[in-house]
Amino acid sequence: MKKSALITGVNGQDGSYLAELLLEKGYKVYGLIRRKSVVDYGNSTHLVGKIEFLYGDMTDLTSLIRAMKISEADEVYNLAAQSFVATSWEQPVATADIDAVGVTNMLEAIRVVRPACRFYQASTSEMFGLVQEVPQSESTPFYPRSPYGVAKLYGHWITKNYRESFGMYACSGILFNHESERRGLEFVTRKITDAAARIKLGKQDLLELGNMDAKRDWGHSKDYVRAMWLMLQQDEADDYVIATGETRSVRDFVNAAFTALDIELEWHGTGAEEYATNKADGKTLVKVNPKFFRPAEVELLLGNPAKAEAKLGWKREISFDEMVSRMVKADLERVQNER
């Protein structure tokens, strides 16, 4: 019999790649989306007709019970979230409702309707926040630094608690930053590759960024959704760190993106005064704007994926340079075709 999977947040970056993977594996795929005045299949628009979209909301338990009944899911992947860290200071309560209590809603819907259904929770390296050790692994103590990180930590623990309380097969993937051509434009990597493409094509003059020194462990989303699936195929449920084991600063990412477009940058100044010029003509192309600084920052993330590699046989396939070059190429093509 065909396995059935329900993906919440199916119109996001990870949701769309995961849906593609599960379709390849022969699953019947259901995707939960929120009702808006304009229908929004987002990154999964190309999957209309291939997967079944259901309307629902993480803050509405009844809609999740309904989704469980209709999908008869064997596996639920909870990817729905208010996922932008900066917004979590502007909407801390909505972030908690969706990213924290929403997880309990989903777990309750599973427990009531199909308790044997396997559950994946999208946990995050943001839970490490002010890091207590380097690199971070499954045993590193948490210290979240944003309302987003705090809400996600609740989601992480409630998943573990339902596993221990009710014997449910419930896993958390502690995923470090993962990007792609489908990443939202508000996240720093896509903001950079989109701006670099526009600057290259003469459609933008300047890229303004916040903290250039923040360091992240950046992998490609397509590799990371494979890890989600693997976590639900084991004999026992467990939690895993998914990361590349490499860390780079925002400045490093900027350099990589412009280099992919044959633009060499020269950096000047520090902190709020930092800027970068085009080595070829001296024009300022990148500069710091303190308005993008965060009230509390996560300065350094570096994950250790040893457990996932040993137990799941997971290995990332897309290198950092390959990821940047794919993102830059996709943005260049898209911007070129814009009217």
Nearest to 52 by CA among 19, 28, 30: 30
Instruction: Indicate the residue among 68 and 151 with the shorter CB distance to ligand F7E.
Output: 151
Q: Which of 100, 131, 150, 188 binds ligand F7E (CB under 6 A)?
A: 188
Please state the closest distance from residue 190 (CB atom) to ligand F7E, in A: 8
Q: Which residue is nearest to ligand F7E (CB)?
A: 214
Q: Which of residues 290-329 bind ligand F7E (CB under 6 A)?
A: 292, 294, 297-298
Instruction: Indicate the residue among 17 and 169 with the shorter CB distance to ligand F7E.
Output: 17
Active centre residues (catalytic): 124, 126, 148
Nearest to 130 by CA among 303, 296, 298: 298
CA distances to 6, 10, 128 from 97, rounded to whole Å, are 20, 19, 21
Q: Which of 76, 230, 250, 328 binds ligand F7E (CB under 6 A)?
A: 250
- Cα–Cα dist 240/170, whole Å: 12
Q: Does 177 contact ligand F7E by CB under 6 A? A: yes
Nearest to 167 by CA among 104, 236, 121: 236
Q: Which of 41, 53, 55, 187 binds ligand F7E (CB under 6 A)?
A: 187
Query: Tokens in use for 327?
Result: 């993102």
- Cα–Cα dist 241/63, whole Å: 30
Could you tell me what percentage of the chain is helix, strand and coil, using 3-state DSSP and rounding each to the nearest 5? 40, 20, 40
Can you give the binding site for ligand F7E, defined by CB under 6 A? 83, 85-86, 124-126, 176-177, 186-189, 191, 209-211, 214, 216, 250, 292, 294, 297-298
